[in-house]
Structure 1
Amino acid sequence: MCKVIAIANQKGGVAKTTTTINLGAGLVKSGKKVVLVDADPQGNLTMGLGFPKNLKVTLKSMMENIIMGLEFDPKEAILHHEEGVDLIPSNKLLAGMDMSLFTVEDREKVLKEYLELLKDEYDYILIDCMPSLGMLTLNALSAADSVLIPVQPQYYAADGLMELLKVVKGIHQRFNPDLQIEGILFTMDNCRYNNAKRNKQAIKTTYGSDIRIFEQTIPRTESLAETASEGVSIFAYDGKSKGADSYLELVQEVLKHA
């Protein structure tokens, strides 16, 4: 049975894309079939796996086929990465989809309808959401079984988290009654700093009784930052690093929660 996880936070720079790539690659290392969905017009996930920005067949193409009711091959957009993970790419042309969806009936379910055509092929579908709470993110959350929330342990993190959780609750009530919160993941964590410790504790105190908070945190490391320009996961780039170990631990926590 396929599980769809949206990786979302309206704040940028919290390692959503890094987490999507490395969680996906780690799940593949654990024997799972995984496809990653680039639902961000910036195309960082696509570029982060080493693919070009000028692709003709992308997530936008697939969603347009759904909107127009065309017959099409849902696998046409899928790219295969050398590490065994698949990708549905995006580029800046996806930006127009956010506005186009406003005129579409059942506009919040277009991505869900597309992903339903792929579920028999995969154990996990991971959606890398754009850093906003627009129509594309609403589509991702409506299509997902759960949402994983990367949070950088900074002073303002709790405010953004509260806003996102309100949106998740609204989508759960209106569009996707099965949507759960996979958990809050601390990323770019520097445990040596007292501020980071205090901010993590504040989030745990506020939300920990109702929401799962992953035991594993993702450290701020040079090797994780460098992978973005190398087109591979941390496992291929520096498999013995703290970053690689942390994502392997995260994979185990996600598998236990399946």
Structure 2
Amino acid sequence: MMQFIIDTAPTLGALNINALAAADEVIITVNPQLLAMMGLQDFLKTVKKIRARVNDRFSVAGILLTMCDARTNLCKVITEQVRDTFEGQIRIFESRIPNTVKVGESVYYSEPLIEYAPESNATKAYKNLAKELINYEG
């Protein structure tokens, strides 16, 4: 079986709906900001609709917290809220992608993060996520 990762823009336009309909699983990224939980709840409704109407194999592989600044209280509160709300229902990845300018710079310079900043905390976090996914997939 071949596996692909499709990374789309955060809006729910036709491209995203089609990508979700074609997928077997989705990793939901959550930026621990004030409106994150509302957006997450809305996205989960979309997942249910796609499963019911288009693709009954479609499921949520897990929730990944991104752009995290563990020093802020808001990040801690939202992380805890995600865990309290979804633990036992949806996998919450242990990996947390930190908020760092290196990610934005690598996009600006059109270089993969692993080449642009191989020792950055974000690169290390993405490597940890890859290990987590490999263990998850078996």
TM beyond 0.5: yes
Residue 69 (structure 2) pairs with residue 202 (structure 1) = no
Q: State the alpha-carbon separation in 2 of the partners of residues 231 and 130 from structure 1.
A: 17
Match of 1:143 in 2: 22
Match of 1:172 in 2: 51
Match of 1:214 in 2: 93
Tell me by how many angstroms 1:238 deviates: 1.2
Provide, for residues 22-50 of structure 1, a one-character-per-residue CA deviation record: whole Å limited to 9, x for no partner: xxxxxxxxxxxxxxxxxxxxxxxxxxxxx
Match 2:118 to one of 227, 234, 239 = 239
Query: Aligned residues: percent identity?
Result: 37
- Secondary structure of residue in 1 paired with 2:64: strand
Q: State the alpha-carbon separation in 2 of the partners of residues 129 and 243 from structure 1.
A: 19
Higher relative contact order (CA 8 A, sep 6+): 1
Match 2:65 to one of 183, 186, 196 = 186
Task: Determine which structure has more spread, i.e. the larger CA radius of gyration.
Answer: 1
> Normalising by structure 2, what TM-score?
0.94
Aligned partner letter, 1:2: M
Q: State the alpha-carbon separation in 1 of the partners of residues 69 and 22 from structure 2.
A: 33
- The count of residues paired between Structure 1 and Structure 2 equals 137
Aligned partner letter, 2:102: S
Q: State the alpha-carbon separation in 2 of the partners of residues 251 and 184 from structure 1.
A: 14
Q: State the alpha-carbon separation in 1 of the partners of residues 130 and 48 from structure 2.
A: 25
Q: CA RMSD in A?
A: 1.1
Provide, for residues 149-196 of structure 1, a one-character-per-residue CA deviation record: whole Å limited to 9, x for no partner: 111111210000000000001111111111111111111100011111
Q: State the alpha-carbon separation in 2 of the partners of residues 129 and 235 from structure 1.
A: 20
